[in-house]
Structures are given as C-alpha cells and as structure tokens.
Amino acid sequence: MPIDQEEMQPWQWPEEEWRRRVYRVRAGRRLRPRAWKDGARFAVALAFDSDHETNELRDGAKSVNRLAWGQYGNRVGVPRILSMLERHGVPASFYVPAVSALLYPDEQRTIVKAGHEIGVHGWIHELNSGLALPDERDLIQRSLDALERITGVRPTGYRSPSGDFSPNTLQLLRELGFAYDSSMAADDDCYELMMDGEPTGLVELPFDWVRDDAVYFLMHRFQGLRPYTPPSDVFDIFRRELEGAHAEGGLFELTMHPHVITNRSRLWIVEEIIKHARTLPGGVWFARHDEIARFALEHTRTEVE
C-alpha cells in the first residue's frame, strides 16, 4: 500500500513530489525596465508594516506590555513617519492587518488622504502556512473588504504576515484579483510569479529580511531574543543595498515597522537613505509599491514585445 506523501520524510519523497513543492510558487521572468519613470536610474519603494498590536493578539494577547509596544506604532510611529514622508515629498506603502485598521480607522484614512498606499497584511497577522484553504480564503477576503470599507479604496497589493506563504496563497491572490504581492525573495528586482510552472500575471515586488528593520532591532523578553545592531550599522547595510540597486539600475525595497523604526535614535536612518538616494547620479524614482509593480510589468512587456 503506497505511503501518503505527507507521512514521508523529505528524503523518502519521490522526485515528482519534491519537484511539485518547489514549482508550486516560483519566480518567472525578471521585470526590470531599462529605465524607470522619467528616465530615473533606479527606483526606491518604502514600506511600513503597521502590525501594531496584532503580533501579540495573534499569539493570544498574553503580554499587556507588548500590546502597549504595539500601540506605540499608532500613537508615535505612524505620525512621525507621515511627517517625515511629507517633509521629503516621498510616497510609501503601508501594509495593514485588518485588525489594526479596525482598531485605528482614522489612521488608515489619514494615510490614504496623504497619497500613500494601503495593502493587505492579513487579518490578525496570522500565519498562512497553518491555515486550511477555506480559512485562508475567508481571512484574505475579510481583510480586503475591511480595508476597502474603512479607506474607500480597494487594495491591489498583498504582503503575507511574517512573509509566510502557504501552498494556497498565490492561488487565492489570483482568485481575489490582486495585482501584485510583496512577500517573496527570489530576486532583488520585480518578477512575474509562476504557479505550477505557469505564469500568473501577478507581479512580485520582493522584500528581503536583510532590508527589514525588525531583524536588527526587535527583542522578546520572554524568549531570550535580544538581537541588537547599532543604528549606524543598520544604516550602512541599507545604504549598501541602495547603492547596489543604483549600480544595477534596479529596485531598492525597504521594509520597516512603525513600532520599530520610529524611536528617536532610529528614524534618522530612513531620512538619510532618502537624502542619499537623491545624491546618486542618474536620478531616483520614489514610488508606492503598486506604482512600481505596474510600471515594471508594463514597461518590461513593451521592451520584450
């Protein structure tokens, strides 16, 4: 009697099984235009994941201290970010769990009114890989509807909480009409997502943990997790990534969190990145993620055709 694939150890899988898993979600053609909007040499996409209290709520809301830490994102973080973006004339994308939006609806309306994008970031920052297909579909659908109801704008972009894709996530994004995703890290530049070996038409605007503030600054007092990198070192990492994107004529995507990056000793990192980008020759295009994804898809198509 054949053994169920799920009961096998990975080293017991037949070739078709490990190939099936690898090719379920895959990077397709790279979408890097020869030049960005208005002839800019490279593009910069700033993202802020407004998790607020949802990280702790997802885990059972056991720590009132960490709920307060999340509230900092709304009380201090987002206002500081919006002020900074306005000061420098830079648009950004905010990925918002629906529960964050329901807790702070005025915050989301203010973000949209300022010209920024809001994308879906789960319902309560749940982990997709632990969900059954009907539950994952329901949560993404409810999140879409809640953000549209609150802001008056239906999101076109998705970022999975904690970058946690399930084997069903891409299928659901196609069904629900998303234009792009920003959860994967198969490239530095945009690319078309493939599913089971077939192109989907969805753009991946990749993020990577090396360009994420949380890995350098977050800590958890109950888990012995104490990562800490000096802000000057984090700036150096981000600056080198930025300069690499400029050298290649590609994309620099930076992911941050309102409750992490906006401490008084840290927010300067983002301002210095913005100012440094504008000193590099050839010009820079600062854009929202939805604008980047659309431009990359349309202009790479034109060049291929």
Report pLDDT digits (tens) over 247-294: 999 999 999 999 999 999 999 999 999 999 999 999 999 999 999 999
* 167-215 pLDDT per residue, tens: 999 999 999 999 999 999 999 999 999 999 999 999 999 999 999 999 9
**Torsion, CA 73, CA 78, CA 79, CA 81, rounded to 10:** 130
CA 265 to chain centre: 24
Q: Which residues pair with 283 in a beta bridge?
A: none
159 within 8 A of 289, measured Cβ to Cβ = no
Select from 180, 156, 202 the least CA-distant residue to 253.
180
Domains of the chain, residue spans: 30-304
* 72-103 pLDDT per residue, tens: 999 999 999 999 999 999 999 999 999 999 99
> Of the CATH numbers 3.20.20.70, 3.40.50.1950, 3.20.20.370, 3.40.50.300, which one belongs to the domain with range 30-304?
3.20.20.370
- Residue 59 banded pLDDT, cuts 50, 70, 90: confident
Supply 47's token pair. Answer: 């993202």
